[in-house]
Amino acid sequence: MVAVTGPSGSGKTTLLHLVALLDRPDQGEIFLNGRATRELDENVASRLRAEMVGMVFQRYHLLGHRTVLENVLFGFRYLPVPRSEAIERSLAALEQVGLASLADRPARLLSGGEMQRVALARGLAKQPCLLIADEPTGNLDAICAQQVMGILESVRAQGVAVLLATHNPAWAGRCDAVVQLGHGQPGAA
């Protein structure tokens, strides 16, 4: 579990997008699971992202009119996973984040903390190698943020790499490594 920290505008989100193959670096190379990605075709990059990377955003990016379960299932939208298996894995992910009882509820009716846990479940349900979380606690109160961090730590315990962008030194301190960004330049701490 690696934390990326730095002041606003230092490039934390950009770095995360580069790792998630959502953006291309001007220089240098990104290796995903040992594979160089800079010259990858857009379709191959999309497939790799679908299969290997789970993403969680500060502003959740849920589909408010869909239910909690449908939002988690949406994570499989571009994966060739049978529907029954996708439902099974989505329910398991909701169980993991403690929201299985709210599976039928429309996402717009959830609290901020619950929304972020649904987003986490969506990222986790497809069992990615790498979970990228862009300031997942940025909009949450302390208790909800604590819950989210607890889930991220449990994910780490399952062997999933977690790349976490955060402003909070306390959360960064709970990670295995910290990358400090300043003016776009990384420095390990």
Partner 1 sequence: MNYPAPVPPMLRDIWESVARQPGRSGLMVLSVAMAWAILGVMSAARRGFELYVAELVAELGAHGAVLNMRTDSPVDRAFVRALMEAAPFASWSAIGMAAGIRLADAPDVKVGYADTAWVPMHRWVLREGRMFDEADIQMGGRVAVVSEAAAARYGWHAGTRVRTTDGQSLHILGVVGSDRPTPAELAEWHPSRAWVLLPAPTVALSSERTVDLVWLQCASPVQLRRAMELADRIRGSNPAAERAHWITADSAVAVARVWQRRVLRASAALAVAALWLGAVALGSLLLHDIRTRVPEIGLRRALGATPSDIAKLFSYEAMTLAIPASALGLWTAAMIVSRVRTWADLPWQLEFQDIGSLLVLAALFSFAVAWGPARMAARLPPAEALRND
Annotate each residue in 2-21 with x if it binds partner 1 (CB under 8 A) or - if it does not, as one string.
Answer: -----------xx--x--x-
CB of 168 to partner 1, least distance (A): 21
Residues 29/33/34/39 CA torsion (nearest 10 deg): -40
Q: Using the rule CB under 8 A, is 92 a contact of partner 1?
A: no
In this complex, which beta carbon is closest to partner 1, that of residue 3 or of residue 69? 69
β-strand 185-188 against 177-182: which pairing, if any? antiparallel
Token reading at 183: 């003016």
- Dist CA 105 CA 156 (whole Å): 28
- When asked if residue 30 is in the footprint of partner 1 (CB under 8 A), the reply is no
User: Which of these ranges, 59-67, 143-151, 154-162, 180-188, lies near partner 1 under the rule CB under 8 A?
Assistant: 59-67
89 binds partner 1 (CB under 8 A): no
Distance, in Å, from the CA atom of 108 to the CA atom of 71, rounded to the nearest integer, reads: 11
| Distance in angstroms (rounded) separating the CA atoms of residues 114 and 161 | 23
User: In the structure encoding, which two tokens stand for residue 154, read together?
Assistant: 């449990």
Q: Is residue 37 close enough to count as binding partner 1 by CB under 8 A? A: no
d(CA 184, CA 180): 10
Q: Is 47 in the site for partner 1 (CB under 8 A)?
A: yes
Nearest to 186 by CA among 25, 45, 59, 53: 25
Cβ 151 to partner 1, closest distance in Å?
Answer: 19
Which CB sits closer to partner 1, 36 or 63? 63
Q: How far is the CB of 68 from partner 1 (least distance, A)?
A: 11
Closer CB to partner 1, 3 or 48, in the complex? 48
Rank residues 10 and 13 by Cβ distance to partner 1 and give the closer one. Answer: 13
Collapsing DSSP to helix, strand or coil, 108 comes out as: helix
Instruction: Work out whether 107 is an interface residue with partner 1 (CB under 8 A).
Output: no
